Structure 1
């Protein structure tokens, strides 16, 4: 038997135009769902793209309107559906337990899910995009999206564990990095988390940004980067063929830069999220230089476990990345600031 429907305040995207709004929505939990009280929800780059709608990649993303926004969710259990109690990750939970959300809602049946690669599910859906997310006073999450939170962190900081798991998943593409020269293109939240994880793993890490990201580059230095650079076209030409591994977390134009900077026989990991076409001459820029172009999306369970361990050990610091916290009432201000890049990371606290 399912829990009764209820009404709650939520941040909703319900029109194919820029903006979001706070509205009363009715949620209908199923027997396989968990009702959660969100304590903090991060505003991610994909949230900003949905907020902008007409720019970036929003018009190419699979967004089902109307939808409750938010996938970087930390909360506490309010109610567990009867069919959810036996699901992995939920069976040991009690009302009041702290949880973090796995944004990818996987089918659990396709061959990649059976292999444990739920991030590559053939029928994948994503919280806050085509399934209601958690930017609300109360949220309904599929049991498969509920993970116990084993790390004692303030909820605002814990929201960054999800992008940290994304960074760890990207690192897994290249294996051990101790002593390896790595570059991270894009000093946003994901790039700064990736930088710290690389440094902790022993990589010599350079972080590259643009003129407008000087403050973020300064933060990267305090977080352990060996070098930070405003990498314009001239610098990129002068430093071509330099790094063993280059991670692109900065968008489509950064991919071309990453390919230029990686040395012969090196590896480029594309972990950004845009469908904007990139002009790359595959023969001369990749094949003839022996470059491996790898991609990474989402995270698997072992990446979550490593993210928890990094945060618990202090190998990755989360608090320095958060420079804005807003209530549901002020969420439009938070989205506007994130869209304008006047903040690094904004977290919503209902």
Structure 2
């Protein structure tokens, strides 16, 4: 199979598959200290107020009118078209991890409304202009520490994430650093464009695992991240890709993405006939599940396991089995700029443009900004058959969840 334009780059020593500490793409805790809305003020060059979904005192999310944020010299003001609802958002809401007054949302697609006085180019090196269709890499790092200097900004000790530590995309406008903005084809449906962010997570996971064409890959979990990991591995030259998903609608989405027969995660690894079969296992489930044990059971001797899932507690693990097989264990946290001039986000934007028609079915539900709290309830109920739910922001028409 020809390699896709997003074929994982060789990331050198920084992406070694040796055991290392890490986390999923929203691991830094939201710090409740201070007012999460303090960065917002009236903007003379735009409407004074905007609609936004704001976290209330009881942890619920409701629509409110808030001041429009002001651009700093190295920032851009975006008019948000759409913002995806991520599994990590559900995790944060359930755990009460959001600061009161926060505007959540980090899977952002929109258009540049205005630019700071010192803004030149975006993260992909393209000149930024008003009206340009873009997606947002929601990270903000210090740029000075050892990790940042090595292009590994997602593990910066001072990492801040839009929608987690600072105002995010469930709003009509959002301010972001210009270097975190990436241009996209304006003909792409903004709801589909929000998939660039989770796709960048998937591509970074393949880099962390040092994926090689021709390998056999198992993906544990049929959420958006798991499905995109499987799709990226298949289109990057894996000889076999198997995905284990808990819910029937997830297995159907896997089929829609061109995966071979997806497997029911209710079966054990041995019952499923998957023991010691794969060169690479990607864990995307987390929670309180035993997927780390399953990953080691399914891995070949000398194979690698990369962990993306957020665990609610110390997960069950069998270090003896990992030792016997000499399994390389690593974690993937967000995505990185790297040092080779081709950030994960840029590769994801190109990949989405190439595969937009194939990936479109992942977006199964759309909601309005006013219905975002209801949208969270819907997305959290797996029995409802939700794949990716996207909140449409700029579209003023009344749309019911579907």
Mapping for residues 230-309 of structure 1, pairs under 5 Å: 230-236=264-270, 238-252=273-287, 253=289, 254-282=291-319, 284-301=320-337, 302-309=343-350
Distance in 2, matches of 1:209 and 1:42, equals 21
**What do the CA deviations read for 1:34-89 (whole angstroms, capped 9, x no partner)?**
1110011100011112333xxxxx35x5x333211111000101111113346755
Answer whether contact 1:41 1:74 (CA < 8 A) is retained: yes
Provide the TM-score with structure 2 as the length reference: 0.78
SS at the partner of 2:131? coil
CA 1:219–1:319 in 2, change beyond 3 Å: closer, same or farther?
same
CA 1:4–1:219 in 2, change beyond 3 Å: closer, same or farther?
closer
Which residue is 1:37 aligned to?
A: 79
Structure ranking higher on relative contact order (CA contacts 8 Å, 6+ apart):
2
**What do the CA deviations read for 1:217-264 (whole angstroms, capped 9, x no partner)?**
122123122331113354446532221111001114222221221121
Q: What is the Cα deviation at residue 205 of structure 1?
A: 0.3
Unpaired runs of at least 5, structure 1: 53-57
Answer whether contact 2:257 2:359 (CA < 8 A) is retained: no
Mapping for residues 215-226 of structure 1, pairs under 5 Å: 215-226=249-260
Q: What is the Cα deviation at residue 31 of structure 1?
A: 3.1
Distance in 1, matches of 2:356 and 2:369, equals 32
Given candidates 46, 49, 57, the residue that maps to 2:91 is: 49
SS at the partner of 2:324? helix
Distance in 2, matches of 1:66 and 1:239, equals 47
Given candidates 169, 175, 188, the residue that maps to 2:210 is: 175
Q: What is the Cα deviation at residue 165 of structure 1?
A: 0.8
CA 1:161–1:286 in 2, change beyond 3 Å: closer, same or farther?
same
Which residue is 2:28 aligned to?
A: none
SS at the partner of 2:309? coil
Given candidates 333, 337, 345, the residue that maps to 2:378 is: 337
Compute the RMSD of aligned alpha carbons: 2.3
Distance in 2, matches of 1:98 and 1:114, equals 29
Which residue is 2:169 aligned to?
A: 134
Distance in 1, matches of 2:392 and 2:264, equals 34
Mapping for residues 20-99 of structure 1, pairs under 5 Å: 20-29=61-70, 30-52=72-94, 58-59=95-96, 61=97, 63-85=98-120, 92-99=127-134
Distance in 1, matches of 2:80 and 2:300, equals 45
Answer whether contact 1:196 1:315 (CA < 8 A) is retained: no
CA 1:73–1:174 in 2, change beyond 3 Å: closer, same or farther?
same
Which residue is 1:55 aligned to?
A: none
Which residue is 2:16 aligned to?
A: none
SS at the partner of 2:110? strand
Answer whether contact 1:331 1:348 (CA < 8 A) is retained: yes
CA 1:89–1:303 in 2, change beyond 3 Å: closer, same or farther?
closer
SS at the partner of 1:67? coil
More helix by share: 1
Which residue is 1:100 aligned to?
A: 135
Answer whether contact 2:124 2:346 (CA < 8 A) is retained: no
SS at the partner of 2:255? helix
Mapping for residues 102-251 of structure 1, pairs under 5 Å: 102-150=137-185, 152-203=187-238, 204-210=240-246, 213-236=247-270, 238-251=273-286
**What do the CA deviations read for 1:174-200 (whole angstroms, capped 9, x no partner)?**
334322111000011111111111111
Q: What is the Cα deviation at residue 172 of structure 1?
A: 0.9
Answer whether contact 1:184 1:246 (CA < 8 A) is retained: yes
Answer whether contact 2:55 2:99 (CA < 8 A) is retained: no
Distance in 2, matches of 1:315 and 1:138, equals 25
- Return 110-119 or 153-162, whichever deviates more: 110-119
Unpaired runs of at least 5, structure 2: 1-39, 338-342, 394-402
Given candidates 28, 44, 56, the residue that maps to 1:14 is: 56
Provide the TM-score with structure 1 as the length reference: 0.89
